[in-house]
Every structure is written in C-alpha cells, then in structure tokens.
A and B are shown apart, each in its own frame.
Chain A
Amino acid sequence: MFSNWRINFLLVFFILGGFLVIGRLFFWQVLSFDELTAMAEGQHWILFEIPAQRGEILASDGSPLASNEEAFLVFASLPDIKDDYNELAEKLAPILEPENVATMASLIKERLSRQDLVWVPLKHKVSRQGKSQIEGLKLSGIGFEEEQSRSYPEGSSSAQLLGFVGNDLNGHEKGYFGLEGYYDLELRGRPGMLQREKDAAGKPILVGEIKKEKERQGRTLVTTIDRTVQFIINEKLKEGLAHYGAVSGTVVVMEPKTGAILGMASLPNYDPGKFFAYDKSLYSNPAVALSYEPGSTFKVLVMSAALNEEVVKPETRCDKCTGPRTISDYTLKTWNEKYFPNSTMIEVIQHSDNVGMVFVGEKLGAEKMYSYLQKFGLGQPTGIDLEDEASPKLRPRNEWKLIDLATASFGQGIALTPIQMIRAVVAIANGGKLMKPYLVKQVISEGEKTEIQPKTEREVLKPATTSIMTEMMVNAVDNGESKWAKPKGYRIAGKTGTAQIPVAGHYDQEKTIASFVGFAPADDPKFVMLVLLREPTSSPWGAETAAPLWFDIAKEIFTYYGIQPG
C-alpha cells in the first residue's frame, strides 16, 4: 500500500515534469521561434551596408551641375591614441575647421575624453587635401573612412534650381529643394547589404558564408539646362541687380516649342555646397515659389483671349479711353495719366493703356476671362519637376465683382508665379499650345536611358490669334517705352510690366515689381524669357529696368545661338 503510494507520487511527478519540459520546449521551439532565430542570426552574422552613390545632375551638354566628390570621415580609435588629447586637438582643429578653430578644438577634446567609447567620429566630409595634411602629422589612433560629398561645379549659379543635399532626422542624406528635393528618391539609389559569418569575437570568418545584396546606384538626371544660357543669365542678373538697385531678381528662359527650361536663375542665392551657412529664406526658388501680381505683362494674356474670342480685333477702337474710368467707386487711371481716345487695340498694348484694357476686359466678360485664366494654367501648379512649386488660387468666379474684372484686365488683383507667367506667354510664342514646363529630359539608370518627352497640356489659342498677338507685341517693343534699349535689327515680341506690391490690404506706393516678358526672333522664336526685378530703385518702371536687362541678356543669347538680325 505504502510502496504503491510512493510509485504513484513519482509517476505523477514525472508526468508533470514531462509536461513542464514539453511546455518549455514548445515555448522555445514554437512560440519564440522567430525571436530566437533573429537572435541567432545576429550572433552568427555581421552586416555591412554598401552605400549607393548619389546620381549626378547634368546639364543638357552632359557637363555636371551636381556631382560627387571623394571625401573622408576622420575618426579616432581611442585605445590607439598616444598623444596628449589637448595637443592632438590643437593640431587637428585648424585642418578640420579652419574657419572655427576654437570650437572645433573643444569638440575634439570632448569627444576624445569619452571613457565609454573606443571609436569616435571627429569630422565628416573632409577633403582629400585635408586627409593628406592629417596624414602628414603622423598621428597614431587617427583613421579615415571613405565617403562621398556632393559638389556643385558651377557654384551658386543654379543654387535654387538644384537645391542641396543635407541630412534627415536619422542622419541619412536627403535632397532638399529644387531638383535634389524633387528627384531625391531617384538620385539617392538603394544601399546594398553584405552579410558575413562572424566568430565569437565578432570578427568576420574568412572562409565563412557571404550573402550579398547589390547596391543600386542613384539615377543620373540629364536636364534641359543649357549651362551657357544659365551662366549668361546669372551673370547679367548680377549686373542688373547692382545697376538698377533691385532687392532681388529672377530670370527664366524657356524653349517655346517644348516647354523645356533652358535657364533659371534667381538672386540673391546661396552656395549649395555650404547651404548651412546661408539664411533659410534663400533656399526656395522664386521662379516657382514667388507669388506676385504681374501688372502690365498680363495684358498680353487678356488681349489674346479677347482676340481669340473675336470680341475685339487689332483695329477695334476703344471708345472709353478718353480719361480715367470709375468702377464701383474706384478710379482707374493709366500709368502716366496720359489718355488716347479712340486708340486701336494695337495702340492699347503699345501704350500699356490700363483704361484700354478695362475696355477689352468688359468686351470679353468675366465668364470668358475666368475661363481663359484657367486655360492659361492659372490657379493650378504647372507641374514643373521642382520641389516647392506654389500655385496662388484664383478667386472663385462667383466672388468676382466688376472691379475685379477691371483690375485683372491690366494684371492687378490677380496673383501668379513667374513660371505660370512665362508658360502662358509660351502659348503665344508657339502657336497656341500650353506646354508643361520641365527640366529633366533623360533619366539614366544603370546604363539604361529613359527619355522624357515634352507634353502639350492643351490648345489655348488659335494659331491666327497668336500671329496677331505676336505682331502687337513686336509693335509694343518697337514703339513702346523701352524701344531705346532694343537690339537693332531683331524682331522681338515683348511686353513690359510694373506691378505694385500689395501690403496689408493696400498697395505700397513706392515699391514695385518690374518685369519684361518676351520672345525672339518673333517669327520663329528660339526662346521665351521673363525678367523680374523686385523693388528696383533706379526707376520703378519695367520699361527702364527689366526691359533693358532683358535686351542685354537677349543680345548675348543671340550671339551664343548664332541668331542673326533681320
């Protein structure tokens, strides 16, 4: 009886023990399988990331606008350092940070004093010359790791267009603004992975297994930018800003048949290689992000719409142009308070007659005017391949009052961006097609080339309308306020603009945005160009600032492209 009890007890004990062992095994083998497998992988394998090289950004001739340069991470292996930390910091700081030696020296000392680390980074992106200088010091415990740094061979001339490469919150490289920002995913590529078996000390086993996932290099972008045009507009804009005392300026050059951007420059700008040293307000590209009231340059769009709808003809006479117009308690005047009774539409554009344009606006009517503004692409982004594009909204049609129609007719009370303005004028230059502006014409990915074709968004104007409008713009250049600056022998179609700047519900009485938009040669345009100067001080007028600058740039473009007079 007693022995039976003991046997039963042992039996139950072993059964329960067996269940516990099985239960524990089930826990490790089944429930914790994934976790333990991952732990084992981590103990057996060592993982290296193979960085992908960032793609280049090339000009249309293949020369680099953004490229990569070899650079080095300078690090310290603390157990191997034999020199005194202070002495070491004093030697390294002038090479690593010549512009801020004291701060760099204290940073090096602080990092070298870390007791909890054996390896500390001292400085990223050190140049090859810097590396050679440090090697010359023959310091023990100082090493180098190869990395890439972004370089911009043309300097700041395309800063806002290209953007820059900085770091994201996790310390990874990331493109910001311009092409670097818009095409960041394509440019950065995908890093590869190298897995090797390691021993108990954590060192790779030479004869061990190797798993490799190849890196995918970043794609190279071939842009439509003609770097000579880009250089010309940047240099001329620099001179123009100084000559006319303007606060800032933008020049955009576009190919009318395709919508390709040939050049785009804004000043003041920054060095994309040292973006951190500049004010953040300079990063965004005014050519696509600046919202402004266009003023008289807008008249060519309203006149084109009216001609296209056949509500006016070039010889139509304005019977309300004898003096100022009063609409909804507002008095509308011409820019110089000179009036031209019975002037034709050709003369209205030539004199940049606000009252004449109110007449045109009334003939067109708010409904059609609004429809054409939409057709010209206003109120919606152009879709250009640049980060940071703004798109000022059009006020809803049902909120338009009589005064809105009147002021919009001469380009006030309506906002757009420079790229929207030039794109609309391109439609006049190319026979009526609204093109999608673009900068990248080819993407090269591991030898494979993908062409990006020009895109026609819609037909806005009839070819006959654009021919008439072109002649009116040629007449405006030949006989308008800026005729004195025009290059002799060339047929240029263009229009000046002087817009007041809205400030807190009213217009600033002294500050203006002067602009000139036009194309040449008028009969077979090779380029359309917009020049915009903010707050010029030599004269507030577009005809005396932006227009001469436009002609000055055009002269150099004529020479460069071999465009002859006549």
Chain B
Amino acid sequence: MRQWEEKTTLLEQQNKILSEEINRLGSLARVNEEARSLGLVKATNVLYLTSQIPVALETKKLPLGR
C-alpha cells in the first residue's frame, strides 16, 4: 500500500513537471523565437484561390464575335 502511495506521489510530481514544461514550451513567444532561429519568415503576401476559374484558364473556347 505504501509503495502504491509513493508511486502515486511520484507520478503526480512528474505530471506537474510535465504540465509546467508544456506551458513553457507552448508559449507563442517561445515558438516565435524558435521559428526565427530556424530561419522561418512570416508570409508577406498571401494568395487565395477562388472557385471561379480565370477566363484565360478556361479550356472551353469562347465564341468569337460576341
């Protein structure tokens, strides 16, 4: 019984330490810093695809003279 209690305490302790570690590592400031150190840069120009196909890309030929 005593051994189980000791094990529970130990696991609770480890859980606490891991939770604190997650909080520290999950901080956006840290992630941002880490990303910069890895050479990642922010996207300056985001392009969105539209559902409507541009005329120039249409395969169907347009009837001339209209």
Q: Pick the contact of B29 from A64, A69, A154 — CB < 8 Å?
A: A154
The answer on a CB contact under 8 Å between B48 and A153 is no
Please give, as numbers and ranges, the residues of chain B lying within 8 Å of A235 by CB-CB distance: 32
Report if B23 contacts A (CB, 8 A).
Answer: yes
The answer on a CB contact under 8 Å between A231 and B32 is yes
Which residue of B20, B23, B26 has the most chain A CB atoms within 10 A of its CB atom? B23
Which residue of B24, B26, B28, B46 has the most chain A CB atoms within 10 A of its CB atom? B28
Interface string of B25-37 (1 = CB under 8 A from A): 0111100100000
Q: Pick the contact of A151 from B20, B26, B28 — CB < 8 Å?
A: B20
Report if A281 contacts B (CB, 8 A).
Answer: no
Report if B16 contacts A (CB, 8 A).
Answer: yes
- The CA of A513 and the CA of B16, in the complex, are separated in Å by 46
The answer on a CB contact under 8 Å between B20 and A70 is yes
The answer on a CB contact under 8 Å between A153 and B16 is no
Q: Count the A residues whose beta carbon is within 8 Å of the partner chain — how many?
A: 19
Report if A565 contacts B (CB, 8 A).
Answer: yes
Please give me the residue from chain A that is nearest to B29 by CB atom. A155
The answer on a CB contact under 8 Å between B23 and A565 is no
Report if B56 contacts A (CB, 8 A).
Answer: no
- The CA of A557 and the CA of B66, in the complex, are separated in Å by 43
Report if B1 contacts A (CB, 8 A).
Answer: no
Interface string of A219-247 (1 = CB under 8 A from B): 00000000110010001000000000000
Please give, as numbers and ranges, the residues of chain B lying within 8 Å of A63 by CB-CB distance: 23, 26
The answer on a CB contact under 8 Å between A154 and B27 is yes
The answer on a CB contact under 8 Å between A564 and B16 is no
Nearest CB in chain B: distance from A24 CB, A = 52
Nearest CB in chain B: distance from A226 CB, A = 11
Report if B43 contacts A (CB, 8 A).
Answer: yes
Given contacts A153-B27, A154-B29, A564-B48, contact A69 B43 (CB under 8 A): no
Please give, as numbers and ranges, the residues of chain B lying within 8 Å of A128 by CB-CB distance: 17
Please give me the residue from chain B that is nearest to A562 by CB atom. B48
Chain B contact residues: over half helix, strand or loop, or mixed? helix
Please give, as numbers and ranges, the residues of chain A lying within 8 Å of B43 by CB-CB distance: 559
- The CA of A222 and the CA of B5, in the complex, are separated in Å by 33
Please give, as numbers and ranges, the residues of chain B lying within 8 Å of A154 by CB-CB distance: 27-29
- The CA of A118 and the CA of B48, in the complex, are separated in Å by 72
The answer on a CB contact under 8 Å between B28 and A228 is yes
Please give, as numbers and ranges, the residues of chain A lying within 8 Å of B32 by CB-CB distance: 231, 235
- The CA of A564 and the CA of B26, in the complex, are separated in Å by 28
Please give me the residue from chain A that is nearest to B44 by CB atom. A555
Contacts of A140-161 to chain B: CB distance below 8 A: 151, 153-155, 157
Please give, as numbers and ranges, the residues of chain A lying within 8 Å of B17 by CB-CB distance: 70, 128
Please give, as numbers and ranges, the residues of chain B lying within 8 Å of A155 by CB-CB distance: 27, 29
Please give, as numbers and ranges, the residues of chain A lying within 8 Å of B23 by CB-CB distance: 63-64, 67, 151, 153
Nearest CB in chain A: distance from B28 CB, A = 4
Nearest CB in chain A: distance from B23 CB, A = 4
The answer on a CB contact under 8 Å between A153 and B24 is yes
The answer on a CB contact under 8 Å between B20 and A157 is no
Nearest CB in chain B: distance from A55 CB, A = 15
The answer on a CB contact under 8 Å between B48 and A227 is no
Given contacts A153-B26, A155-B29, contact A69 B20 (CB under 8 A): yes
Please give me the residue from chain B that is nearest to A564 by CB atom. B48
- The CA of A38 and the CA of B23, in the complex, are separated in Å by 47
Please give, as numbers and ranges, the residues of chain B lying within 8 Å of A69 by CB-CB distance: 20
Interface string of A105-136 (1 = CB under 8 A from B): 00000000000000000000000100000000
Nearest CB in chain A: distance from B13 CB, A = 8
Please give me the residue from chain B that is nearest to A556 by CB atom. B42
Please give, as numbers and ranges, the residues of chain B lying within 8 Å of A153 by CB-CB distance: 23-24, 26-27
Nearest CB in chain B: distance from A138 CB, A = 22
Please give, as numbers and ranges, the residues of chain A lying within 8 Å of B27 by CB-CB distance: 153-155
The answer on a CB contact under 8 Å between A157 and B26 is no
Please give, as numbers and ranges, the residues of chain B lying within 8 Å of A227 by CB-CB distance: 28
The answer on a CB contact under 8 Å between A231 and B46 is no
The answer on a CB contact under 8 Å between B28 and A559 is no
- The CA of A425 and the CA of B46, in the complex, are separated in Å by 29
Please give me the residue from chain A that is nearest to B23 by CB atom. A153
- The CA of A252 and the CA of B27, in the complex, are separated in Å by 21
The answer on a CB contact under 8 Å between B48 and A565 is yes
- The CA of A231 and the CA of B29, in the complex, are separated in Å by 8
Please give me the residue from chain B that is nearest to A563 by CB atom. B48
Please give me the residue from chain B that is nearest to A558 by CB atom. B46
Nearest CB in chain B: distance from A54 CB, A = 14
Contacts of A62-90 to chain B: CB distance below 8 A: 63-64, 67, 69-70
Nearest CB in chain B: distance from A386 CB, A = 22
- The CA of A154 and the CA of B16, in the complex, are separated in Å by 18
Q: Pick the contact of B16 from A70, A157, A228 — CB < 8 Å?
A: A70
The answer on a CB contact under 8 Å between A559 and B26 is no
Interface string of B3-31 (1 = CB under 8 A from A): 00000000000001100100110111100
Please give, as numbers and ranges, the residues of chain B lying within 8 Å of A565 by CB-CB distance: 48
8 CB < 8 A contacts A-B: A70-B16, A151-B20, A153-B23, A153-B24, A154-B27, A157-B28, A231-B28, A231-B32
Chain A residues engaging chain B, CB cutoff 8 angstroms:
63-64, 67, 69-70, 128, 151, 153-155, 157, 227-228, 231, 235, 558-559, 564-565
3 closest A-B pairs by CB: A231-B28, A153-B23, A153-B27
A sample of 6 more A-B contacts (CB under 8 A), given A70-B17, A70-B20, A559-B43, is A63-B26, A153-B24, A155-B27, A227-B28, A228-B28, A558-B46
